[in-house]
Amino acid sequence: MEENQNMLHRKTRKKWGCIFITLLLCFTPAALAEEESQERSSVTVHVLQDLSSYDALTEDEAKGSPFIPESLEDGKAVIGSDNRIIITNPYQFPYSAIAYIQAKGACGCPWDATGFMISSRWMMTAGHCMYCVEHHAPVKDVKFYFGYEDERNYLLLQDAGCTIWISQKVEEGTDYHEDDYAFLRFDDPIGDRTGWFGYWYDAPGSAIESEVLYCAGYKDGILKSDYDWARVYDSKFVTHTIDMVKGNSGCPLFDQDYNVIAINTAEAIDGTVNYGVRLTEKMQRLIQREGFPE
């Protein structure tokens, strides 16, 4: 009788041992996949400390040239003369270099925004697109869609690791509008596929006011573009009446040669004009200090 009970206990232990091993084999890949996903989507946020002093930029340092991948060059999208509103070919340059951002802050708040590439690894956007100013919380999870049409159709999705720098005033959340900018460096050279914009730091006021500026940004996954004349407000801002809505924050204000002059950020309280934060020497020096362009 005792021998039969021992055999029964051994069978029971063996059975539960098999079940435990089976469960372990079932759950381990899922756990590993989740861990790998968390590692790939990791985001590191740094605060840019103001420079105590910096030298004036040379002409070469103050400008960057746009890059159009060969695969996108032949189908370059037309802007300006056809006055289109909805961009039906967001996978072609220059729209391919503009990202639809889906973000969630450490506070749990979700939001959409726009960003744009300025080199193979570097992106610019508005500071408040990477930081929840209301709850003083940085972005925690973020996806960047390029050439976005819908969740199954897009040129490129980047949800792997990236490093983000925001200005100190954005973190403080008070009187941050003139420093409402952020830099991002991706681990992968995704700009080689999307292309990137040129840029023009501290563009002379006369040059800005003599050219039409274009604005293209995402709202609920739809990319829309408009254009108009811009005006120099001061050394920090340009104002414009180009149509924009919530979600367009962080999109580029660029000229017909695809050089970005300002980052679209906000509208006036009375709704009469929209504002763009100008690219400045200070921005260039800060981003150079962090390893720009590579």
Please give the full DSSP string across 184-228, using - where no structure is assigned. Answer: EEESS-THHHH-B-EEETT--HHHHHTSEEEEEEEETTEEEEEEE
pLDDT, one tens digit per residue, over 44-79 is 888 877 766 667 777 777 788 888 888 886 655 544
Q: What's the CA gap between 49 and 34, in Å, rounded?
A: 34
Does 211 reside within a domain?
yes
Q: Are residues 57 and 83 in the same domain?
A: yes
Percent of the residues in the chain that have a pLDDT greater than 70, as a whole number? 80
Q: Are residues 84 and 151 in the same domain?
A: yes
What average pLDDT score do residues 72-101 get? 75
Does 294 reside within a domain?
no
Q: Are residues 199 and 117 in the same domain?
A: yes
Q: Are residues 64 and 28 in the same domain?
A: no
Q: What's the CA gap between 208 and 221, in Å, rounded?
A: 29
Q: Are residues 113 and 258 in the same domain?
A: yes
pLDDT score of 133 more than 60: yes
Q: Are residues 19 and 51 in the same domain?
A: no
CA 46 vs CA 21, 42, 182, 290: distances in Å:
43, 13, 10, 10
What average pLDDT score do residues 138-163 get? 92
Q: Are residues 36 and 48 in the same domain?
A: no
Does 13 reside within a domain?
yes
The position carrying tokens 């006036």 is 268
Cis peptide before 94 (omega within 30 of 0): yes
pLDDT, one tens digit per residue, over 255-291 is 999 999 999 998 776 778 888 999 998 898 899 888 8
pLDDT at 112: 94
Q: Encoding tokens for residue 149?
A: 């049409």
> Do β-strands 137-146 and 131-132 pair in parallel, antiparallel, or remain unpaired?
antiparallel
Does 116 reside within a domain?
yes
The position carrying tokens 């400008």 is 63
Mean pLDDT of the chain: 81
In this structure, what CATH number is given to the domain that contains residue 143?
2.40.10.120
Q: Are residues 125 and 168 in the same domain?
A: yes
Helix (H, G, I), strand (E, B) or coil at 121: coil
Under the banding of pLDDT at 50, 70 and 90, the label for residue 94 is very high
pLDDT score of 8 more than 70: no
Under the banding of pLDDT at 50, 70 and 90, the label for residue 20 is very low
Q: Give the global pTM.
A: 0.80
Q: What's the CA gap between 182 and 166, in Å, rounded?
A: 5
pLDDT at 43: 83
Q: Are residues 11 and 100 in the same domain?
A: no
Does 30 reside within a domain?
yes
Host domain of residue 5: 1-40
Q: Are residues 167 and 273 in the same domain?
A: yes
Q: Are residues 116 and 6 in the same domain?
A: no
Highest mean pLDDT among 46-55, 117-126, 162-171, 224-233: 117-126
Query: How many domains does one find in the chain?
Result: 2
Contacts of 158 (CB under 8 A, 6+ apart): 99, 143, 144, 146, 186, 188, 190
Q: Are residues 18 and 65 in the same domain?
A: no
Of 24-38, 91-105, 154-168, 233-247, minimum mean pLDDT range = 24-38
Q: What's the CA gap between 113 and 268, in Å, rounded?
A: 19
